[in-house]
Structure 1
């Protein structure tokens, strides 16, 4: 096992074509190989599936992957088969198979061919499957989309609750549970339900810096959607609606307006659903109008926009759904339309549910309202919800939301904040948000009556302000960590130590002046261009996309299962003309190069010859059409070991501008060879000191580096070292 762990980077390259692991992937895999239970909390696009796919290929036996959707299983099976010469390496076992297909699956498992078996939780309840699985060597269980286990999760599936008992019946093996969205409450619930409280926990940042978040008033949303899509032709996108009827109406309206759109919801027959999904994956339709039934199983990296026609029921749903945009690191525009009337409809819908379900639903809905109405950085609000702090001035993606781009007028509410915190203290922390609002405005309710709060001198202290004003104050108190929601009694607001300090010594707290969500904003619709989505040789990149489509069709798989966009971009930068060269392209590797590469390298060789492109033997950087690109110029200049001052001067940039450009390049995943320049700035010992710190640090923020090294090094020196570190370690 030790030798396996040592060789993981080589094995990653061999099987998946990647040069390095993302985030905690390597540590997760090492722990799973070591027989530990593992809990992985990683955002959409963070590379969760690799955490169980690679160890499954390496370990003896078959890994059981429990997955909630047939579409999701099919996608992943296609992807794994794409890197192997054996079709039987991965199989699905679910209700869609006939007897002959089930026999083939079992035969492949018994012969030791199958390394990954994808099953629906419902299939695992069948006695015949349980008995069969008892007889085979299992490597581990992977529970994908693990938030489905929790009643507090946004996609709760009751059949997931029994997984622990089924696994114990089949036989004890390590468990890896994975999810892209889990608040501390959901995480705790998942671990308890699966009996894995001692699991090693790996939590990646939920920040997706390439996504731009925007909320708009829901005024003529159809007109706004059509305008946006027309201004962004050919881009792939998903529009979410809460009702099937609206999905159908909107898809039809888009088609009438010349937009290539299709509907997707649970009311369509399975054949139509599969056909519409395949057309979207195969790039035969640009836009899918869908209910939340669509998306969980969609591993399409180049979705460029996600629009919520209706506000979603929870921030987990919102995060999961917006997370389907820009998974390749490129542009991802996330627009949601907000009208409080929609929230009231959802509240009425919840009124018919059992009490416990209703309470959960209302709490989750109130969080969404807070997000829609907030004046603060939406990214900060969203990340705080998942238990993560965000620096809205210097953090990655700091300006990528409407509130940060167009700040609202703010007013100081420190006195009101102190008043509301004092009420929480005076009522012994036994009220929820709506109860606190009722106390502030002096409105009697069942809770205020039961606790006889109407007789207290603070009852109605804020009746000169609206409900929404006090909701904003309370939400700001939560975001500022003055108040928190207790995990066990979810919804009751508790006073933190910071909150107690604030009562005794106030400081300035700013919130937006009353926002009129009924008034139409005049802000024009803009396309948000995120970094990293432009290929270098645009003509070659477009041609390669056409070839990819052709190869994909021939193999009956989606285009991205052949090569993802970043791989095509790399080809358009490096012009590989042999399979050996192609295997060194980002995200390719030997297996994929052999399986799909022939047409690509033959075309590139012809393209290079016809366009008289110079290709240095070392395959560093080639002459390309887009000569004005700073990115290309910087990569070429650093490869030629030019001084940074000369590079900046040649493009009329300041050193600060140049470092900004370099940071953008390396954070997009491209390597910059700047060791020659760093060696002139700092000696080996100094470099090691900073690299060691970054290796152990939880953050690479400049503020963290300056706190540690500000007295010994300049900010430019630290930025240059950070660029070197990201380039060499992360890329």
Structure 2
């Protein structure tokens, strides 16, 4: 098996011309029968590492996953592109399980997904031996490690795989595992010599932002106004929070539902299904939601409260923008959040580690360094460049040359032989007279008292920055001792410079942050053109074929169609994400919409559009009603009447965005109350104004309500 064979399969089934970094190297090593530890961030392409071997190797890939909903999601997606896959877990009836088992025994499956419980059940290994297993892929493999953030005791029994199938390679995959967890994963699975493939954790398409935790609901509503018709998740700390927030968002006119473990299983399944199929755009959820969802067009993630650790945080924000298109993340933080989580951790066998990880999460939220650098350095990926796509980079604090200060701190740690925690290092720098400090002889080192001019509070903040910037790390497994990284040694011995944030600018920056408002709405209006038409077609086809919309084509593929406007099979086949199966299945319908759009553009360029068609074209090109009115020298009410007329003639518009939710009911009331000969727009407006106040409706809203009624009547 060769790289060319793998690339051919990639294009045939998935429509991509080449692999992402590391994917091909992992696949080639799998061809050689080698074990592997694969660490790739959410949305980084882990699944491709075992799906391509499944369609190019002799035998079946057995995928072990703890997430039943993710199994179904992945199997649906694979079947949609022509790959034969099935799953076995407790959700199947006896008849369905028997059908899948027969398919496996007959050699009909490229991939078989199983839960760890199913894999380890009596007689299952014997069943698997009836056919050739070419690879075991262990998904969410961090669950096997007690150091991991989602430890599951049943996973520890997976070590028996190597004993029973010594010649079958094992690929352990996870999105979030620190240095300790990765090492433990390899030991627990019996593959200590497996090569570790660590992809970049950099997700440049995700914007990162942290805001103070005051008036969270008001801030969320403002955030959503800038992102109309986008799917997203709000993670909450408690069940009550999810329900209260979902209710408030519905009151504000948003399509939001709550999701938590306290809901009946049928209701949870319904919420999840509606979200996957774009029927519900916003889910307010506890962390139980999202792990089993492979939805690629989540455009934003909000954390209503701070997560317990950076692993959970990174995994959860990674559910946004899995298709590679731009997505936004927002974390609300207050010191009270930290105290609540601290109390929740309480006292258990892992409490010391969990509290240390919580402190790192707090440092991230408090930090004034580039947030992406903090995340990358936390996952042992050295980063020295600011990202330009986080709130710190957008509104940078004032920096100073902190090289000398950093050298004092780093030198003290080196002279203390990296054997103490941050608190002791600070006490040494400040020349503390602590008895234990003197007893250990720490008052004799050269840097004792070298930083006594800096307060303990400021030193703590500077140490947080040095950790965040990747010069130091905390060895949780070694009593939280502070250690030097390779970057620190370059500062001490090679003359590297260190930039730190002035503590005097912190308060000023926070005041600026409170006043700052995002201006994204105009950019998002581009979705109302050809992209929106293709998205509507995607919804229709998804309903017809019984699959989630993003499994038809993801947002990145739609955006490329908008840019390239393919109108032949050859052109459509060159669009990223359009494989052979999808071209045959969906290509003709999408090209028909694109051709219609191109003809309309040609007509507009020749000036052949009628007045109301010209208003519609301008609106679909991203102009607001006010902008169209100003450009064309007409009233805004005329523009709204143009758009309403176009809708009545069949134009693809979501008219509900143009009137308040109560408007249809009020218009119906007016029509019922007014004499038949007096039901013009003016009479309706006067009746509604008298009944519901002067700001209840305007002519534009009435035009749209009427257009919607007219279209509904014509359909019926």
After TM superposition, the score normalised by the length of structure 1 is: 0.75
Comparing 191-200 with 554-563, greater Cα deviation is found at 191-200
Alpha-carbon displacement from aligned partner over 1:247-306 (angstroms, at most 9, x marks no partner): 122111211221111111222222111111111121112211111111122222222211
Alpha-carbon displacement from aligned partner over 1:126-175 (angstroms, at most 9, x marks no partner): 11323312322111101112222222322222222221214533554111
Match of 2:399 in 1: 410
Q: Distance in 1 between matches of 2:400 and 2:436?
A: 33
Comparing 483-492 with 561-570, greater Cα deviation is found at 483-492
Cα gap change, 1:116/1:626 in structure 2, threshold over 3 Å: closer, same or farther?
farther
Alpha-carbon displacement from aligned partner over 1:8-31 (angstroms, at most 9, x marks no partner): 222211111112222222222222
Establish whether residue 282 from structure 1 lines up as the match of residue 282 from structure 2: no
Match of 1:655 in 2: none
Cα gap change, 1:437/1:272 in structure 2, threshold over 3 Å: closer, same or farther?
farther
Give the SS at the match of 2:116.
Answer: coil
Give the SS at the match of 1:522.
Answer: helix
Match of 2:516 in 1: 524
1:540 to 530, 534, 556: 530
Establish whether residue 474 from structure 1 lines up as the match of residue 463 from structure 2: yes
Q: Distance in 1 between matches of 2:37 and 2:486?
A: 30
Cα gap change, 1:587/1:482 in structure 2, threshold over 3 Å: closer, same or farther?
closer
Q: Distance in 1 between matches of 2:449 and 2:213?
A: 33
1:372-521 equivalence runs, <5 A:
372-392=365-385, 398-411=387-400, 416-421=405-410, 423-425=412-414, 427-436=416-425, 452=439, 456=443, 468-479=457-468, 482-486=471-475, 489=478, 491-495=480-484, 499=488, 509-513=499-503, 515-516=506-507, 521=513
Match of 1:561 in 2: 551
C-alpha deviation, 1:409, in angstroms: 2.6
Q: Distance in 2 between matches of 1:334 and 1:480?
A: 21
Alpha-carbon displacement from aligned partner over 1:647-690 (angstroms, at most 9, x marks no partner): xxxxxxxxxxxxxxxxxxxxxxxxxxxxxxxxxxxxxxxxxxxx
C-alpha deviation, 1:480, in angstroms: 5.3
Cα gap change, 1:97/1:483 in structure 2, threshold over 3 Å: closer, same or farther?
same
Q: Distance in 1 between matches of 2:592 and 2:329?
A: 38
Match of 2:652 in 1: none
Match of 1:205 in 2: 200
Alpha-carbon displacement from aligned partner over 1:431-476 (angstroms, at most 9, x marks no partner): 223554566679999xx85995699589998788665423222233
Cα gap change, 1:229/1:429 in structure 2, threshold over 3 Å: closer, same or farther?
same
Match of 1:291 in 2: 286
Q: Distance in 1 between matches of 2:520 and 2:618?
A: 21
Establish whether residue 134 from structure 1 lines up as the match of residue 129 from structure 2: yes
CA contact (8 A) 2:369 2:465 kept: no
Cα gap change, 1:470/1:59 in structure 2, threshold over 3 Å: closer, same or farther?
same
Establish whether residue 32 from structure 1 lines up as the match of residue 51 from structure 2: no
Q: Distance in 1 between matches of 2:516 and 2:555?
A: 30
Match of 2:12 in 1: 14
Aligned pair count reads 604
Match of 1:95 in 2: 90
C-alpha deviation, 1:430, in angstroms: 2.5
CA contact (8 A) 1:67 1:145 kept: yes
1:570 to 529, 537, 560: 560
Alpha-carbon displacement from aligned partner over 1:352-377 (angstroms, at most 9, x marks no partner): 222xx112112211211221122221
C-alpha deviation, 1:526, in angstroms: 1.0
CA contact (8 A) 1:429 1:495 kept: yes
Q: Distance in 2 between matches of 1:527 and 1:322?
A: 22
Q: Distance in 2 between matches of 1:108 and 1:57?
A: 16
Establish whether residue 347 from structure 1 lines up as the match of residue 337 from structure 2: no
Match of 1:44 in 2: 42
CA contact (8 A) 1:16 1:587 kept: yes
Q: Distance in 2 between matches of 1:474 and 1:442?
A: 17
Establish whether residue 168 from structure 1 lines up as the match of residue 163 from structure 2: yes
Alpha-carbon displacement from aligned partner over 1:98-119 (angstroms, at most 9, x marks no partner): 2111101101101111111111
C-alpha deviation, 1:193, in angstroms: 1.8
Match of 1:695 in 2: none
C-alpha deviation, 1:584, in angstroms: 3.0
C-alpha deviation, 1:227, in angstroms: 1.5
Q: Distance in 2 between matches of 1:184 and 1:530?
A: 43
CA contact (8 A) 1:444 1:454 kept: no
CA contact (8 A) 1:68 1:120 kept: yes
C-alpha deviation, 1:63, in angstroms: 0.8
Q: Distance in 2 between matches of 1:163 and 1:461?
A: 52
Q: Distance in 2 between matches of 1:228 and 1:386?
A: 29
Cα gap change, 1:401/1:244 in structure 2, threshold over 3 Å: closer, same or farther?
same
Q: Distance in 2 between matches of 1:56 and 1:490?
A: 44
Q: Distance in 2 between matches of 1:262 and 1:197?
A: 44
CA contact (8 A) 2:226 2:520 kept: no
Give the SS at the match of 2:200.
Answer: coil
Q: Distance in 1 between matches of 2:537 and 2:38?
A: 36
Comparing 169-178 with 118-127, greater Cα deviation is found at 169-178
Establish whether residue 305 from structure 1 lines up as the match of residue 305 from structure 2: no
Q: Distance in 2 between matches of 1:581 and 1:326?
A: 26
Q: Distance in 1 between matches of 2:36 and 2:138?
A: 10
Alpha-carbon displacement from aligned partner over 1:414-445 (angstroms, at most 9, x marks no partner): 56545544543454432223554566679999
After TM superposition, the score normalised by the length of structure 2 is: 0.77
Establish whether residue 362 from structure 1 lines up as the match of residue 351 from structure 2: no
Match of 1:268 in 2: 263
Cα gap change, 1:156/1:435 in structure 2, threshold over 3 Å: closer, same or farther?
farther
C-alpha deviation, 1:348, in angstroms: 2.3
Match of 1:601 in 2: 591
CA contact (8 A) 1:133 1:170 kept: no
Match of 1:59 in 2: 57
Q: Distance in 2 between matches of 1:97 and 1:530?
A: 47
1:106-185 equivalence runs, <5 A:
106-169=101-164, 172-185=167-180
Comparing 24-33 with 211-220, greater Cα deviation is found at 24-33
Q: Distance in 1 between matches of 2:454 and 2:345?
A: 28
Q: Distance in 2 between matches of 1:495 and 1:115?
A: 47
Q: Distance in 1 between matches of 2:485 and 2:600?
A: 68
Alpha-carbon displacement from aligned partner over 1:227-263 (angstroms, at most 9, x marks no partner): 2112322121111112222112211121122111111
Give the SS at the match of 1:316.
Answer: helix
Give the SS at the match of 1:544.
Answer: helix
Q: Distance in 2 between matches of 1:628 and 1:252?
A: 32
Comparing 560-569 with 169-178, greater Cα deviation is found at 169-178
Structure showing greater Rg? 2
CA contact (8 A) 1:40 1:201 kept: yes
Cα gap change, 1:124/1:460 in structure 2, threshold over 3 Å: closer, same or farther?
farther
CA contact (8 A) 2:242 2:259 kept: yes
Q: Distance in 1 between matches of 2:344 and 2:471?
A: 32
Q: Distance in 1 between matches of 2:559 and 2:442?
A: 69
Give the SS at the match of 2:62.
Answer: strand
Match of 2:542 in 1: 552
Alpha-carbon displacement from aligned partner over 1:558-593 (angstroms, at most 9, x marks no partner): 101011122222333444445554333221121112
Q: Distance in 2 between matches of 1:288 and 1:451?
A: 56
Give the SS at the match of 2:559.
Answer: helix
Q: Distance in 1 between matches of 2:210 and 2:42?
A: 21
Give the SS at the match of 1:20.
Answer: coil
Cα gap change, 1:194/1:331 in structure 2, threshold over 3 Å: closer, same or farther?
same
1:232-251 equivalence runs, <5 A:
232-251=227-246
